[in-house]
Amino acid sequence: MTARLPDPPDDLLARAAKIRLLGLDVDGTLTDGRLWFDADGRESKAFDVQDGQGLALLRKAGITVAFVTARASAAAAHRARDLGVEAHIGVADKLACIEALRARLGLSLDEVAFMGDDLPDLPVLRRVGLAVAPANVHPWLRESVHWVTPASGGRGAARELADLILHAQGRVDGLLGTTP
């Protein structure tokens, strides 16, 4: 039996099939957006383990994954290291960062996906080949993305995007050890 997602639209699958680079905002996308500080001012965040598994599967499939966040966050940098993905922390211009990554990898914008949830992500979302937001996206951004995931940030949204890309690229059966 072939594993598949519930019938994504053909145009969404076509966009996802081209992806070679995935950029992800962190706060509100890979986390639920809440910031936790201890008495000494140290920040902590909660990341979803299934999101991490999805990002690991993308890396295994040869897709470059990068965190691109405006916030200078040691927790985000640590999680990126843990997953073996690129960390671009404290980024003032997310679009310039994604453009530099794209150029370094020799990719077109059609081969780039980005997931973000709020206004700092808008310039990137308007340019990439696959613009995605988690369910908790700020309402002003909904019209600027190709897909809003059913799950919220920090609650499996990144895994849903990873699964979509893997599905569109015909890689799911290989991961499951099944044949189409």
**What would the pLDDT profile of 35-67 be if each residue is shown by its tens digit?**
888 899 888 899 999 999 999 999 999 999 999
Q: What is the pLDDT, as a whole number, of residue 5? A: 57
pLDDT band at 174 (very low <50, low <70, confident <90, very high): confident
Whether residue 5 lies inside any domain: the answer is: no
Which residue, 3, 5, 2, is CA-closest to 147? Answer: 5
Q: What is the pLDDT, as a whole number, of residue 4? A: 47
Strand segments (E) across 70-179: 86-89, 112-115, 130-133, 147-148
| CATH code for position 114 | 3.40.50.1000
47 CB-near residues (< 8 Å, 6+ apart): 30, 31, 79, 154
Whether residue 1 lies inside any domain: the answer is: no
Q: What's the pTM value of the predicted model, to 2 decimals? A: 0.92
Cβ count within 10 A of residue 156 = 21
Contact 90, 100 (CB under 8 A): no
| CA dihedral over 89, 70, 134, 132, signed as positive or negative | negative
Whether residue 61 lies inside any domain: the answer is: yes
Q: What is the pLDDT, as a whole number, of residue 179? A: 60
Whether residue 32 lies inside any domain: the answer is: yes
Q: Render pLDDT for 73-111 as a digit per residue (tens, 0 to 9).
A: 999 999 999 999 999 999 999 999 999 999 999 999 999
Contact 155, 125 (CB under 8 A): no
Per the prediction, the chain carries an average pLDDT of 93
Strand, coil or helix: 124? helix
Whether residue 4 lies inside any domain: the answer is: no
Whether residue 2 lies inside any domain: the answer is: no
Q: What total of structural domains would you count in the chain?
A: 1
By residue range, what is the domain housing residue 152? 10-172
Residue 2: pLDDT over 70? no
Whether residue 110 lies inside any domain: the answer is: yes
